[in-house]
A and B are shown apart, each in its own frame.
Chain A
């Protein structure tokens, strides 16, 4: 089995300049660290790419899909941009809040699910779009929420 360091060297080789590998390396590190980037993860990436942990943090914190704060094992993200919003996204958000017993931006007590609202997911014609662990559910209605939550806790 190859180590994280070695895998990052492979990523590095894809690009003319090694700095370009920082995003894929952070994505890889996040996968390995339960969906977010704790300090050791950022230090590992920095070491593998001859960058500094601070530099990796500046990159990671710029992008919405890289998380520098702890996050639940599952992430539910409801698009609330205009097209989804006018098609009932807020009802979907509230249904998730009700089913999960948390507010938007929070994680369930058992660390199971984080609920967020997000900007346009690029599924405007299939509103409401909900990303569950980055896989997009289309045409989600309030009535679908209970089943999704059950799926996640099952």
Chain B
């Protein structure tokens, strides 16, 4: 199978970008919006339900159902909000960024249709602060839509993040957007009932929203014919790591992982061999090369393999990758991004990193390996949000799938790669941070007036 499969999200781009409204309209852009404006909000939701579009951010929750949870204006008179999560930060994932770069109008068109579906006049796009060009393109696209009087009475505010992975979690995103520290809230209440400013709010991912206009154009039933019955439609897969041709590829759900790596991606780079694949962003459990051969890229196949499709970010690792070092690096990420609100995540992610570093350094014992798993178990399922769990689950999967390699570190009192791992010596932000614990002003002496 080739990458020339039917494109939905990127339809009409021909590999390029549609950043002028006239170009977008010339390939049929805004037809979905026009059609939606003739539909009732309920009819739009019904179309989404028929498409069985499920959230592309990672949770795979049915989009139409999410919208149907939003109370009607007569049930809740507060303003309704659509918040788009453009804070793409899951390691391995870079699809939303390309969507905003290449089809900004389809994305904004989707925002306007979604706003109509939930009877909202206020759209907030929370875009990752690091995405500078993408932001500029959205600013320009929004201005063009405004000049073309396509916004109607809907206000769209582009809000820039400032660098915090946790703000990709929907309640943390809402906190951040409200001007608080981006820390997750307890649920319930769910955003549909009390989200932004305690008002009914739908939070949707960029790719999900961008898929909405084509669904309205072609009809939900038609869209549902793409992909698999349980995982309908196409998906923009972010392929990265040790492959010849990394990049974003829009493919139907159910596409074999092996074909993505070897056909679409051109195989393992530098003539190396495949060791493992992280199939849905760094939060998802790892697959061995053998397992990767068998799975297809959809919800069911990956769930059955004990992992998840997540954000459809496929990270390919070749035979030079030390699994303990991978554990250290992944755990460092979660430690760095932990918001610090709940105890198990704040303390546990740091502790996991420390144990993994000890093992990598050759100072670990069998007891440390048990401790590693046990600390992970104490994190997993006790946190406020999925961040801490993700660290514990990812690390546990490395131990489970590559236990021999962990044991080798313990028994040989050192890393079997002897400095030749592809992750060797890598400096993470927390490595620098650790060197500077305690800012200088802490040396102020205690002054108490006698």
Interface residues of A (CB under 8 A from B): 14-24, 26-27, 58-59, 62-66, 80-83, 85-87, 89-90, 93, 104-105, 116-127, 131, 134-136
Contact = CB atoms under 8 A, between A and B. Distances in A.
Contact of A85 (B176, B278, B329): B329
B286 to A, nearest CB: 11
Given A62-B164, A117-B432, A83 B91 contact: yes
Interface in B117-137: 122, 128-133
A19 B178 contact: yes
B55 interface: no
Given A19-B179, A125-B94, A127-B246, A63 B163 contact: yes
A122 B163 contact: no
B157 A14 contact: yes
Contact of B179 (A23, A80, A90): A23
B284 interface: no
Interface residues of B, number: 67
A64 to B, nearest CB: 3
A16 B246 contact: no
A63 B129 contact: yes
B419 to A, nearest CB: 12
A27 B431 CA distance: 26
Interface centre among A21, A121, A125 (most CB of B within 10 A): A125
Nearest to B313: A124
Contacts of B129: 27, 63, 65, 134
B143 to A, nearest CB: 15
A125 B92 CA distance: 8
Contacts of A63: 129, 161-164, 182
Interface string B154-186: 000101111111000000000011111110000
Nearest to A16: B197
16 contacts: A19-B180, A20-B177, A23-B160, A24-B160, A66-B163, A83-B91, A86-B241, A86-B318, A104-B432, A116-B429, A119-B429, A120-B282, A122-B89, A125-B94, A125-B239, A126-B247
B369 interface: no
Given A82-B315, A105-B435, A125 B164 contact: no
A70 B160 CA distance: 22
A126 B242 CA distance: 11
Interface stretch (B65-73, B297-305, B420-428): B420-428
Nearest to A61: B181
Given A105-B432, A124-B313, A81 B239 contact: no
Contacts of A120: 89-93, 165, 282, 333
B103 interface: no
